[in-house]
Amino acid sequence: MERKPHRPRGVRRGPHEAVDDASNYVKWERPRRALSEAPDLPETGDRWSTWDGAVQGPLPRPDWVRTEYRAVDTELGILKTGKEADVFLVRREIPGTDQISMLAAKRYRDGDHRLFHRDAGYLDGRRVRRSREMRAMANRSNFGKELIAGEWAAAEFGALSRLWQVGQESGTISVPYPVQLIGTELMLEFIGDWETGEAAPRLAQARPDPDGLVDLWRQMTDALSVMARAQVAHGDLSAYNTLVHGDRLVVIDMPQIVDLIANPRGVEFLARDVRNVASWFISRGLQVDVDELVERLSYEAGLR
């Protein structure tokens, strides 16, 4: 539409002259200054390390964790896609040196998290400070879903931190070291071949010999015992969220960690974890007494 002539300043509108609709005018903005130089990006890699602005993993920290401000991150590809999160392989290094960390960056989805549809049982016993946040989470608003995604990430970071420290002290459970947490991105120790970037296989893919099967079951029951004594259950344990790295069984994927004392369905989650993993071992010929193990773990958790 053609614009009307500009009225000189100080000239008033006549009594029969209509006021133009606001849509007839072109919004005027002051030109923005162009950046005199490119944003502060490293010469190599995708970004500077985000270590300094993150919630950092527990002490004592492994030597391979790169904490230097001059470290850079390079995304190498995707390791796993899921309905609740995607996992990417990231190399964190100090350029020009051999000081490298290989990390798994787990990025939770804010709006499409699959656990939004079945998370009520897991969230029992968890609390946030503000009643507004509790209402948003209960109503599953967009804000509430973002809070829940952050809750899952924080829960997994906390669980891994606690269990990693127990594993360092006792050697009876192995989990990835939780390097850092920023919002809904959790960065973990990459479990696999650091040279090739090949992830360790899941337990479901393993084909151990009879002795290896017995040893893996021993490691599994040790891990279950550690969690029971810490009064938590994995909540979704199976042969698909445990890895076999060499001869070592590594428990992963813990966003739905369950407080066995605060959650009224704690025993149910504990028993389900046992049945799920035991079924894989039983299908491969190992004799397992599921009921006896559930009873023992319940006693160790203080539920009996």
Determine, yes or no, domain membership for 210: yes
**Mean of the pLDDT values across residues 253-271?**
94
Residue 84 confidence (pLDDT)? 83
pLDDT single digits (tens) 152-190: 899 999 999 999 999 999 999 999 999 999 999 999 999
Q: Is the pTM of this model over 0.75?
A: yes
Same domain assignment for residues 113 and 246: no
Return the pLDDT at 151: 83
| Among candidate residues 170, 193, 216, the one where a domain is terminated | 193
State pLDDT tens for residues 19-62. Answer: 444 444 444 444 455 544 556 889 989 999 999 999 999 999 99
Per-residue pLDDT at 297 exceeds 80: yes
Q: Please give the residue range of the domain that contains residue 253.
A: 200-300
Shared domain check, 103 and 184: yes
CATH number of the domain that residue 251 is part of: 1.10.510.10
* Residue pLDDT, tens place only, 200-232: 999 999 999 999 999 999 999 999 999 999 999
pLDDT of residue 217: 98
Q: How confident is the model at residue 134 (pLDDT cuts 50, 70, 90)?
A: low
CA separation for the pair 297, 274 (Å, rounded): 9
Closest CA to 273 of 255, 245, 293: 293
Tokens 């970071």 correspond to 157
Of residues 119 and 65, which shows the higher confidence score?
65
Range 81-103 burial, b when 16+ CB lie within 10 A, else e? eeebbebbbbbbbbeeeeeebbb
Per the structure, how many domains does the chain have?
Answer: 2
Same domain, 217 and 270: yes
Distance between CA atoms of 56 and 17, rounded to whole angstroms? 66
> Based on the domain organization, do 153 and 215 belong to the same domain?
no
